[in-house]
Amino acid sequence: MKTIYLCGGIYALDRDAYKDWREAAKKKLEPDYLILDPTRRTYNNADADSIRQLVNMDIRDIRHSHILLANVSQPSWGTAMEIFYAHRQNKKVISFGVPSSYRSPWLLHHSTVVVPTLEGAITYIKEQKL
């Protein structure tokens, strides 16, 4: 079974902004895919050891994934770094949420595909049998 890591902003967003799209993705992708959702961890402790541990757990999840499903609708340092890391690990990176009128060359280069919506990303994953 293929594994998908749900990448997208968390820090400084309200719970609905970072959780709702992930829950919708899980409903449409499970049980055909194993989903790794980083929001299962707590991101509100700011000491250096907990930050290092969180980042290492996210990296481990990406390493164990086949696909990175990235919500790029809002700028996020973590999202950009996870996309870059996944690309360097030869993972499929399916990015969604950015208007076609503004697509960064860096995002285009490091994504397998960039589509406008979550629904489009899920359709792509299923149709390509990723």
In this prediction, residue 100 carries a pLDDT of 72
Q: What angle do CA 128, 28, 10 make, to 5 degrees?
A: 100
Mean pLDDT of 5-23: 92
Q: Which residue has the higher pLDDT, 60 or 42?
A: 60
In this prediction, residue 45 carries a pLDDT of 65
In this prediction, residue 32 carries a pLDDT of 97
Decide if pLDDT at 44 tops 80: no
Q: Which CATH architecture has domain 3-127?
A: 3-Layer(aba) Sandwich (3.40)
In this prediction, residue 102 carries a pLDDT of 73
Q: Calculate the average pLDDT of the chain.
A: 93
Decide if pLDDT at 67 tops 80: yes
Q: Domain coordinates of the chain in residue numbers? A: 3-127
- pLDDT range class, residue 107, cuts 50, 70, 90: very high
**What does 5-27 look like in DSSP terms, one character per residue?**
EEEE--TTS-HHHHHHHHHHHHH
- pLDDT range class, residue 43, cuts 50, 70, 90: low
The structure's pTM equals: 0.94
Q: Which residue has the higher pLDDT, 116 or 43?
A: 116
From the list 2, 4, 8, 28, the residue with the least C-alpha distance to 80 is 8
